[in-house]
Amino acid sequence: MKTISLLSSFIVAAGLAPSHGMWQRLNVNGTDQGQLVGINPPAVNNPIHFVTGSSIACNTGLVSPLSNTVLTIPAGAKVSAWFEHVLGGAQNSTDADNPIASSHKGPITVYLSLQSIRNQNGTFADQCSSLEVYMLRQQETTTAIRGSRPRSRDWMTRLGNGR
Protein backbone atom coordinates (compact mmCIF):
# COMPACT_ATOMS: atom_id res chain seq x y z
CA MET A 1 0.00 0.00 0.00
CA LYS A 2 1.29 3.44 -0.87
CA THR A 3 1.48 6.18 1.69
CA ILE A 4 1.05 9.84 0.86
CA SER A 5 2.74 12.22 3.29
CA LEU A 6 1.05 15.60 3.53
CA LEU A 7 2.86 18.75 4.55
CA SER A 8 0.64 21.81 4.74
CA SER A 9 2.15 25.23 5.27
CA PHE A 10 -0.20 28.13 5.71
CA ILE A 11 0.35 31.77 6.55
CA VAL A 12 -2.17 33.74 8.55
CA ALA A 13 -2.42 37.28 7.22
CA ALA A 14 -2.96 40.33 9.38
CA GLY A 15 -6.40 41.89 9.21
CA LEU A 16 -9.45 42.57 11.29
CA ALA A 17 -12.40 42.00 8.96
CA PRO A 18 -13.87 38.52 8.52
CA SER A 19 -12.65 36.81 5.38
CA HIS A 20 -13.56 33.82 3.31
CA GLY A 21 -11.33 31.91 0.97
CA MET A 22 -10.67 28.75 -1.00
CA TRP A 23 -7.97 26.24 -1.85
CA GLN A 24 -6.81 26.74 -5.44
CA ARG A 25 -3.37 25.28 -6.11
CA LEU A 26 -1.50 22.11 -5.18
CA ASN A 27 2.25 21.79 -4.80
CA VAL A 28 3.90 18.35 -5.04
CA ASN A 29 7.56 18.07 -3.96
CA GLY A 30 8.09 21.77 -4.61
CA THR A 31 6.40 21.82 -8.02
CA ASP A 32 3.28 23.95 -8.47
CA GLN A 33 0.65 21.94 -10.35
CA GLY A 34 -1.12 25.09 -11.63
CA GLN A 35 -4.18 27.17 -10.84
CA LEU A 36 -7.23 24.86 -10.40
CA VAL A 37 -5.41 21.90 -11.98
CA GLY A 38 -6.86 18.75 -10.42
CA ILE A 39 -8.82 20.96 -8.01
CA ASN A 40 -12.56 21.61 -7.81
CA PRO A 41 -13.14 24.65 -5.58
CA PRO A 42 -16.45 26.39 -4.98
CA ALA A 43 -17.24 29.29 -7.33
CA VAL A 44 -17.61 31.71 -4.41
CA ASN A 45 -15.71 32.01 -1.15
CA ASN A 46 -18.70 31.71 1.17
CA PRO A 47 -18.58 29.16 3.99
CA ILE A 48 -20.94 26.25 4.55
CA HIS A 49 -22.82 27.04 7.76
CA PHE A 50 -24.83 23.91 8.48
CA VAL A 51 -22.86 20.74 9.12
CA THR A 52 -25.97 18.54 8.97
CA GLY A 53 -26.83 19.40 5.34
CA SER A 54 -25.67 17.72 2.14
CA SER A 55 -23.32 20.61 1.31
CA ILE A 56 -20.85 19.58 4.01
CA ALA A 57 -20.26 16.28 2.16
CA CYS A 58 -20.28 17.47 -1.44
CA ASN A 59 -19.67 21.21 -1.25
CA THR A 60 -21.77 23.64 -3.29
CA GLY A 61 -21.55 25.67 -6.48
CA LEU A 62 -18.27 24.31 -7.82
CA VAL A 63 -16.26 26.23 -10.41
CA SER A 64 -17.27 25.24 -13.92
CA PRO A 65 -15.90 23.49 -15.82
CA LEU A 66 -14.70 20.93 -13.28
CA SER A 67 -11.09 19.86 -13.55
CA ASN A 68 -10.77 16.34 -14.97
CA THR A 69 -7.04 16.21 -14.29
CA VAL A 70 -5.87 13.44 -11.98
CA LEU A 71 -2.62 14.48 -10.31
CA THR A 72 0.03 11.82 -9.73
CA ILE A 73 1.60 12.03 -6.28
CA PRO A 74 4.44 9.61 -5.57
CA ALA A 75 4.65 7.77 -2.26
CA GLY A 76 6.41 9.89 0.35
CA ALA A 77 5.85 13.15 -1.53
CA LYS A 78 5.48 16.44 0.29
CA VAL A 79 2.16 18.01 -0.67
CA SER A 80 0.94 21.48 0.17
CA ALA A 81 -2.08 23.49 -0.92
CA TRP A 82 -2.47 27.19 -1.66
CA PHE A 83 -5.38 28.97 0.05
CA GLU A 84 -6.38 32.47 -1.01
CA HIS A 85 -9.19 34.90 -0.35
CA VAL A 86 -10.72 34.72 -3.84
CA LEU A 87 -9.92 32.77 -7.01
CA GLY A 88 -6.63 34.04 -8.38
CA GLY A 89 -5.32 35.66 -5.23
CA ALA A 90 -6.05 38.73 -3.19
CA GLN A 91 -9.35 40.52 -3.65
CA ASN A 92 -7.45 43.78 -4.25
CA SER A 93 -3.98 45.23 -3.62
CA THR A 94 -4.82 46.10 0.00
CA ASP A 95 -6.55 42.79 0.88
CA ALA A 96 -5.33 42.26 4.45
CA ASP A 97 -7.45 39.10 4.66
CA ASN A 98 -5.46 37.25 2.02
CA PRO A 99 -4.89 34.36 2.38
CA ILE A 100 -6.80 33.85 5.67
CA ALA A 101 -8.18 36.55 7.94
CA SER A 102 -6.62 36.79 11.38
CA SER A 103 -10.13 36.38 12.83
CA HIS A 104 -10.34 32.83 11.41
CA LYS A 105 -8.64 30.79 14.08
CA GLY A 106 -10.05 27.38 13.27
CA PRO A 107 -8.07 24.30 12.31
CA ILE A 108 -7.11 23.32 8.79
CA THR A 109 -7.94 19.68 8.19
CA VAL A 110 -6.89 17.40 5.33
CA TYR A 111 -8.76 14.20 4.49
CA LEU A 112 -7.54 11.51 2.10
CA SER A 113 -9.87 8.77 0.85
CA LEU A 114 -9.95 6.07 -1.80
CA GLN A 115 -12.01 7.31 -4.73
CA SER A 116 -14.06 5.72 -7.51
CA ILE A 117 -12.87 6.23 -11.06
CA ARG A 118 -15.20 7.82 -13.62
CA ASN A 119 -15.19 5.82 -16.86
CA GLN A 120 -15.27 7.53 -20.28
CA ASN A 121 -19.01 6.78 -20.59
CA GLY A 122 -19.73 8.66 -17.34
CA THR A 123 -20.24 5.61 -15.13
CA PHE A 124 -18.11 4.91 -12.09
CA ALA A 125 -15.77 1.96 -11.75
CA ASP A 126 -15.75 0.03 -8.50
CA GLN A 127 -13.41 1.43 -5.85
CA CYS A 128 -11.46 -1.82 -5.86
CA SER A 129 -10.51 -1.42 -9.54
CA SER A 130 -7.62 0.85 -8.58
CA LEU A 131 -5.92 1.15 -5.23
CA GLU A 132 -4.04 4.25 -6.31
CA VAL A 133 -6.75 6.87 -6.96
CA TYR A 134 -7.55 9.03 -3.96
CA MET A 135 -9.49 12.18 -3.27
CA LEU A 136 -7.83 14.83 -1.12
CA ARG A 137 -10.23 17.16 0.67
CA GLN A 138 -8.99 20.22 2.52
CA GLN A 139 -11.10 22.21 4.88
CA GLU A 140 -10.70 25.27 7.07
CA THR A 141 -13.16 25.38 9.97
CA THR A 142 -13.86 28.37 12.16
CA THR A 143 -16.36 29.08 14.86
CA ALA A 144 -17.87 32.50 14.51
CA ILE A 145 -20.31 34.22 16.80
CA ARG A 146 -22.94 35.77 14.60
CA GLY A 147 -26.20 36.78 16.21
CA SER A 148 -27.21 34.90 19.31
CA ARG A 149 -25.39 31.55 18.82
CA PRO A 150 -21.96 30.46 17.72
CA ARG A 151 -21.87 28.12 14.73
CA SER A 152 -19.35 26.33 12.60
CA ARG A 153 -18.25 27.78 9.27
CA ASP A 154 -16.49 25.48 6.82
CA TRP A 155 -14.52 26.30 3.66
CA MET A 156 -13.83 23.23 1.55
CA THR A 157 -12.13 22.29 -1.69
CA ARG A 158 -11.87 18.89 -3.29
CA LEU A 159 -8.64 17.92 -4.97
CA GLY A 160 -8.66 14.88 -7.19
CA ASN A 161 -11.14 13.38 -9.61
CA GLY A 162 -13.83 12.70 -7.01
CA ARG A 163 -17.22 14.17 -7.81
Question: pLDDT of 77-125, one tens digit each?
Answer: 898 888 887 788 888 888 888 877 777 666 777 777 666 555 554 444 4
Mean pLDDT of all residues belonging to the chain: 65
How far is 155 from 18, CA to CA, in rounded Å?
A: 13
pTM: 0.61
Nearest to 42, CA basis, from 123, 108, 140, 115? 140
Count of domains for the chain: 1
> SS3 of 159, please?
strand
pLDDT of residue 18: 33
Q: Domain range holding 147?
A: 5-159
DSSP line for 14-69: P-SS----EEEEEEETTEE--TTTTEE-BSS-PPB--TTSTHHHH-SSB-SSPP--
Can you give the CATH number for the domain in which 30 is found? 2.70.50.70
pLDDT of residue 14: 22
pLDDT band at residue 15 using 50, 70 and 90 as cut-offs: very low
